[in-house]
Amino acid sequence: MRSAHILQQHAFDFWLARGAIALVAGLQLLVVNDLTLGPRWLAPAVEITMLVPLSIATAWTLERTRVASMDQHWHMIARYRRAIRAFALLLTAVVTAMNLEALVALVRALLHGAKGESGQSLLLDALNIWVTNVVVFALWFWNLDRGGPAIRSIADRHATDFLFPQMLPNCPTNLDWAPGFVDYLYLSFTNATAFSPTDTMPLTPRGKLLMMAEATISLLTVGLVAARAVNILA
């Protein structure tokens, strides 16, 4: 039997992650300018369509986990968790692609001064893209580190992608500590604002590439916004 505290933390993290996708879909509906292929509602509709079955499967698996008592139950749950994680990664990839598409369109609009698009509205859209970028990479970090959220607190079979301060030998934190979604959201936010690691270090090539990609997107967005803001104020 797994500890009730671990199960409760897993459930909380899973629903935070699902809520993060819903937040991204809502942000995409607030985009002012035409920065996506097709109608504005298309990207959020695709994401919500994928999110609904993922949430149902998550709820079902969490309930099975709560009442599981035999090894065969855990083997079955492990199979479902692998499938859920694969689908969650696919959904995260879809959101990432759509946000990158919006960023490319924003860069084009800022550089070429697209007709009918005000500077203020483009700045708002840039902020929207930046926030989405933070949320999306938090999802990547959370889903990939040490094999994903379902097993990282109970198994060490996968390489550690990110070294949190609480994991250091001289840290007084409980030895059973494992990062949750909020920890990865904080990691993503600090990486996007500092453009480099802060208190949490990437240990694997995958972790380093992910942080480098997020910092590059953030730097590009912030740099273009700053240039546009100077142009508006001049």
Kind plus residue range of the DSSP H or E element containing 192: helix 181-194
120-168 pLDDT, tens per residue? Answer: 777 888 888 999 999 999 999 999 988 877 676 555 566 788 988 887 7
Which of residues 69 and 182 earns the better pLDDT score? 182
Tokens 């933070």, located at residue: 134
User: DSSP code of 49?
Assistant: H
Q: In one letter, which amino acid is 11?
A: A
At 1, the pLDDT band (50, 70, 90 cuts) reads very low
Looking at residue 226, what is its pLDDT? 72
9-62 pLDDT, tens per residue? Answer: 777 888 899 999 999 999 888 887 776 777 888 888 999 999 999 888 888 877
26-40 pLDDT, tens per residue? Answer: 988 888 777 677 788
Strand 201-202 and strand 162-163: pairing?
antiparallel
Mean pLDDT of 216-226: 84
Secondary structure class of 201 (helix, strand, coil): strand
Looking at residue 41, what is its pLDDT? 84
- Which tokens is 120 given? 């203020």
Which of residues 177 and 42 earns the better pLDDT score? 42
Whether the CB-CB separation of 167 and 193 falls below 8 Å is answered with no
Which are the contacts of 136, defined by CB distance < 8 A and separation ≥ 6? 24, 92, 95, 96, 99
At 173, the pLDDT band (50, 70, 90 cuts) reads low
Query: Does 89 score more than 60 pLDDT?
Result: yes
103/91 Cα distance (integer angstroms): 18
